[in-house]
Amino acid sequence: MAQVTKKNNYEPFDRMLNRFRKAVEKDDVVRRYCEKTFYEKPSAVRKKARAMAVKRHLKKLSNEAKALNELRSFAKE
C-alpha cells in the first residue's frame, strides 16, 4: 500500500496529495482493486492476455517500421 509522510512542516497538503496519487498509480492499487472486485473466467483472462500480446507485437512492428523509414530518409539526404 502506498504511504506518504510530510517532508517538512511547511509542505502544503496539495503537494503531499499529489505525491500520494503518484505512489498509488506506481503501485497499481486501483488496477488490482478492479481486477479483484469481479470474478473473471479463466478463458476471459487468457483471451485478454492474448489480445495484449498481439497489441504489443503490432506496436513493436510499427516502431520498427518507423525507425526503418527514418533511416531510409536519412540515407537519401
Tens digits of per-residue pLDDT, 44-76?
999 999 999 999 999 999 999 999 988 888 777
All residues at 6 or more sequence positions from 17 whose CB lies less than 8 Å from its CB, including other chains: none
Q: What is the mean pLDDT of the chain?
A: 89
Q: Rounded to two decimals, what is the model's pTM?
A: 0.53
Cell numbers of 34, please? 478492479
> What's the angle, vertex CA 25, arms to CA 20 and CA 28, rounded to 5?
125
